[in-house]
Amino acid sequence: MLMEVCCKKRTHQPLQYIGISIGKVYLREPMQKPTFYPTRPLPYGRQHITDADVAAVTAALQSDYLTQGPTVDEFEKQFAAYVGATYAVAVSNGTAALHLCTLALDVQPGQRVITTPLTFAASANCVRYCGGEVHFADINPTTGLIDLLKVRQLLEAHPKGHFTGLIPVDFAGLAVDLEAARQLADEFGLWIIEDSCHAPGGFFLDSKGQEQRCGNGNFADLAIFSFHPVKHIATGEGGMITTNDEQLFHHLLRLRTHGITRDPADLQREPDGGWYMEMQELGYNYRMPDLNCALGLSQLTRADAGLARRRELAAQYDAAFAQVPGVGVLAPGRPGHAYHLYVIEIADRKGLYDFLKTRQIFTQVHYIPVHRMPYYEGLGWRAGDFPLVEKYYAHCLSIPLFPTLTDEEQDYVVACITEFVSASHAI
């Protein structure tokens, strides 16, 4: 007997999935074998490495430069063009990118910076690396993004100059309205670092209806990206900073390599030979090797295709879950969404997480709110400080979304979730 899953059914037997048809998920009574089982575990995200990627890395290995070579410059140039920024600086990972940004913006001990509690800890930690104080503004629960009205309230509650910067995060791939953020930042004298680790290729529509790509530098002072394997562009480890500010660009180049410069235009002393260079400030080794940049360049050629597939899969999930009571979707159908993550919200999140594991589906929670981490609680933050993100955290689950996820695998994920929800909704 076929039934639509929106019918509430009293059963403790798992229903079995037979297919999806135009947004409706059909299940049949147990006993029959499912028509499809995945042949591989399904994580929430997975890198895609092609023969062309392998060839690109092999060529880099056989070249004269394993690091500090021309592939780094080429990756920077092409990545900048991809996001529409003037300058890009490749670095060893997204965290290093954030650290260099706070250094370049001269964050000083005690300076206060606002970010979202719904992010990976690195978005906040970069302020702590410089001795700054991290402050949070709660999220808009329909988007998962920092609520700019709450940021305004926080800013208005203090004298101007109390806060020095804002780090909005394009959470899950949905772009923050940086035009609005810039207006706010200008009013209160803040710099902006856009944490766009989740959103290469994403955009928001500005007040004129124009697409503004994440990291294009039109509104934020600096933007950062990560090339961790679950991200859109996967290089193992790797990161990028983009900006339209020439001075910041040159400063970042120096900070990335120990604070050293060889640029004749920047030297403070007369060179005493061809080897001459100056360490002018305290920097780090945050360089990205040519090997990783070669992989990044190769992956960049598929970035648009990967993004299109992520959006297609997300639209299919949206349609399927619209038919499943008890499954909420974070920010469905938003233009410009880059879909690093596909997040559902469900009453019994732990139950679903555990159940899906038994079906070889490995979901993840993004994120435990940063202010609830023991380290940040040690700095004075408490449960209840940001109720909207805490409520979101209690129910969110990131389900498989990556370009090589097949339609059949996706149908299986939907069916398993539907099966769990149908059983737990049974009255």
Residues classed as catalytic: 231
Residue 106 tokens, joined: 């001269």
Q: How far is the CB of 224 from ligand PLP (least distance, A)?
A: 7
How many C-beta atoms lie closer than 10 Å to residue 342's C-beta? 28
Residue 163 tokens, joined: 């806060």
Interface with ligand PLP, residue 138, by CB under 6 A: no
End-to-end CA distance of the chain: 20
The residue type of 176 is V
Interface with ligand PLP, residue 94, by CB under 6 A: yes
Q: How far is the CB of 118 from ligand PLP (least distance, A)?
A: 9
Residue 91 tokens, joined: 């670095």
Q: What are phi and psi of 368, to 5 degrees?
A: -65, 125
Q: How far is the CB of 90 from ligand PLP (least distance, A)?
A: 12
Stretch that binds ligand PLP, among 49-57, 89-97, 283-291, 379-387 (CB under 6 A): 89-97
Number of residues near ligand PLP (by CB under 6 A): 14
Q: What is the DSSP letter of 173?
A: G
Binders of ligand PLP among residues 161 to 200 (CB under 6 A) are 169, 195, 197-198
Q: Closest CB to ligand PLP among 60 and 167? A: 167
Stretch that binds ligand PLP, among 38-46, 118-126, 183-191, 243-251 (CB under 6 A): 118-126
Residue with the two structure tokens 């049974």: 426
Distance CA(57)–CA(63), nearest Å, equals 10
Distance CA(204)–CA(210), nearest Å, equals 8
Stretch that binds ligand PLP, among 76-84, 90-98, 155-163, 282-290 (CB under 6 A): 90-98
Interface with ligand PLP, residue 226, by CB under 6 A: yes
Interface with ligand PLP, residue 228, by CB under 6 A: yes
Interface with ligand PLP, residue 317, by CB under 6 A: no
Give burial (CB, 10 Å; 0-12/13-18/19+) of 28.
middle
- Judge whether 338 and 19 are in contact, CB under 8 Å: no
Binds ligand PLP by CB under 6 A, chosen from 80, 100, 105, 122: 122
Q: What are phi and psi of 152, to 5 degrees?
A: -60, -45
Interface with ligand PLP, residue 95, by CB under 6 A: yes
Residues that bind ligand PLP (CB under 6 A): 93-95, 119-120, 122-123, 169, 195, 197-198, 226, 228, 239
